[in-house]
Amino acid sequence: MLHPDDLRVFTAFVTTRSDSLIRLAYVLTGDQYAAEDLLQSALARTADRWRSIRGDPEAYVRRVMYHEQVGRWRSPRWGRERVVEAPPERIAGDDTAQVDDRLTLEQALRRLPAKKRAVLVLRYFEDLPESDVARIMGCSIGTVRSQTHQAVKRLRGLVGEPVNLEA
């Protein structure tokens, strides 16, 4: 149980950073419901350790989400269809001209191995510097650079044309 002062600070953190964190969770999972579950799980783990977190709590949450999602990808149950009573609600479609490109890129991203996908998400979608990505993934900056290079090269091969992740 959090101390009232810690609870106030944690609540403020969740309120201000949830939008950014849910976007990362969505990119990692590819599904809104799974993203919400992932973020909720990561925030619950963060709350349990709130007093002992030093430095940037958002980096801690990102690291928890990354590790938890990798664990889910490795689980034999990941990717199986689940029978439900009623289909989930659908979100309104995106009518912009970029939908086809986005879908192509998303499908190609899903075909990348988990580590390569995560490094691209953290570097280009979240716009984190290599040092932060290395800290979140628990590896060296050189590994981040090589994984990024390999992932972009593989992504270009999957898409069949140059990929501009900066746009």
The 10s digit of each residue's pLDDT in 65-96 is 998 888 877 766 655 556 677 776 766 655 56
Share of the chain above pLDDT 70, in %: 83
The 10s digit of each residue's pLDDT in 39-51 is 999 999 998 888 8
The 10s digit of each residue's pLDDT in 82-137 is 667 777 676 665 556 567 777 888 888 888 898 898 999 899 888 899 999 999 99
If pLDDT is split at 50, 70 and 90, which confidence band does 162 have? low
Domain final residue, candidates 39, 74, 109: 74
Are 87 and 158 within 8 A, CB to CB? no
Range 127-152 average pLDDT: 93
Helix spans in the chain (H): 4-29, 32-48, 57-74, 99-111, 114-120, 130-137, 141-159
Range 153-167 average pLDDT: 73
Q: Which DSSP state fits 97?
A: T
Domain check: are 109 and 154 in the same one? yes
Domain final residue, candidates 58, 74, 90: 74
Would you say residue 145 has pLDDT above 60? yes
> If you average pLDDT over every residue of the chain, what do you get?
83
Say if pTM beats, i.e. exceeds, 0.85: no
Q: Quick one: pLDDT at residue 126?
A: 87
Cβ burial 93-130 (10 Å sphere, 16+ → b, else e): eeeeeeeeeeeebeebbeebeebbbbbbbbbbebebeb
Domain check: are 70 and 107 in the same one? no
Domain final residue, candidates 29, 58, 74: 74
Half-sphere exposure of 38 (CA within 13 A, CB side): 28
* Two structure tokens written together for 71: 């664990």
What's the structural domain count of the chain? 2
Domain check: are 10 and 65 in the same one? yes
Q: Quick one: pLDDT at residue 89?
A: 72
Would you say residue 167 has pLDDT above 50? no
* Two structure tokens written together for 151: 């992932």
What domain range is 19 assigned to?
4-74
